[in-house]
Amino acid sequence: MGGLETERTTTGWAARDPSGVLSPYTYTLRSTGPEDVFVKVMCCGICHTDLHQAKNDLGMSNYPMVPGHEVVGEVLEVGSDVSKFRVGDIVGVGCIVGCCRNCRPCDSDNEQYCLKKIWSYNDVYTDGKPTQGGFAGSMVVDQKFVVNIPEGMAPEQVAPLLCAGVTVYSPLNHFGLMGSGLRGGILGLGGVGHMGVKIAKAMGHHVTVISSSDKKKVEALEHLGADDYLVSSDAEGMQKAADSLDYIIDTVPVFHPLEPYLSLLKLDGKLILTGVINTPLQFVTPMVMLGRKSITGSFIGSMKETEEMLNFCKEKNLTSMIEVVKMDYINTAMERLEKNDVRYRFVVDVAGSKLDQ
């Protein structure tokens, strides 16, 4: 594979401006260091955050930008100090590729909350070079931010778990909501929401899907195994369900009122926000006070939780519902994602798109 000091080039699909349109872009990968793993990308999920970033919805995008943070690939080479991985291993890379390693979050295996974390793309690495994501032929990643994919799990099925799956698993784990018999709500049935239903059901929870219309009712109840389905505009149904849920995982990535959902929570219930929204949300304080309810947030999960979640999904035989596309379909896929026209996650067949040939 050549010496570890030699820089390599790879081809990805990059956004060049806030139009968010992606096109082929060849760039240099940072030098492979002693702790690094050189990964040939096999597939990569498309997350709503990729859309936000490509279109500069959050006002901090830098171009050219190669998105993609649900990456599964094959290890082609490892640095001299790499102990966890060998050539030929199938591995995953998620949202983060660096952290400071000496702050409170880093010391407690919560590196996703490190204030100096380095994003998989649209960020700057310690060597001063921009980070680029998984819509590309290959990546170089520090071994700390790489996970082994359990044997027998299909790469394209695993990709969405690296963001969508752990985004649900982490708050359930952290807030002590993994015991069977709990009653949970999943607000929004997209990429994160559909994994929320599957993971919560596998934990033995009674799961209610809450959506803005009944379009996905049959899918939620029959295909995903949810126990109940609530339409948020159905005043009578929402009233009947008041004070019934231990938690709600709110996956909606656009502005929405919180009060209708707070009313569904029991005493000490939690509304857990996981969608990236760039406008303020509102509620009146009695909705929280009169029930000692919490509005909290959770952001992806740690590397430790990612490994736990993958093993949990393997043990429970959980898979994501996906639509596999080639890289030349990426712009159409992004347009469809913006319209929620996907069941429930696009995954790009990067290897099959032959970007580096």
**Tens-place pLDDT, residues 195-250:** 999 999 999 999 999 999 999 999 999 999 999 999 999 999 999 999 999 999 99
Residue 150: its pLDDT value, please? Answer: 97
At 333, give phi and psi (nearest 5°).
-60, -40
> How many Cβ atoms from other residues are within 10 Å of residue 148's Cβ?
16
Q: State pTM to two decimals.
A: 0.94
- Please name each of the domains of the chain with its CATH number: 9-163+319-349 (3.90.180.10), 168-297 (3.40.50.720)
Q: Which residues contact 151 (CB under 8 A, 6 or more apart)?
A: none
Q: Please give the torsion angle defined by the CA atoms of residues 252, 255, 261 and 262, in that order, rounded to the nearest 10 degrees.
A: 120
Residue 30: its pLDDT value, please? Answer: 82
* 41 vs 110: CA distance, rounded Å: 26
Please, are residues 186 and 203 in contact by the beta-carbon 8 Å criterion?
A: no
Residue 31: its pLDDT value, please? Answer: 77
Q: Which residues contact 211 (CB under 8 A, 6 or more apart)?
A: 187, 188, 189, 217, 220, 229, 230, 231, 232
**Pairing between strand 294-297 and 245-250?**
unpaired
Residue ranges, the chain, pLDDT below 70: 1-7, 357
Strands (E), the chain: 9-15, 22-28, 36-46, 71-78, 90-93, 96-98, 118-119, 123-124, 130-131, 138-142, 146-148, 183-187, 206-211, 228-231, 245-250, 265-273, 294-297, 322-325, 345-349
pLDDT digits (tens, 9 = 90+) for 159-196: 999 999 999 999 999 999 999 999 999 999 999 999 99
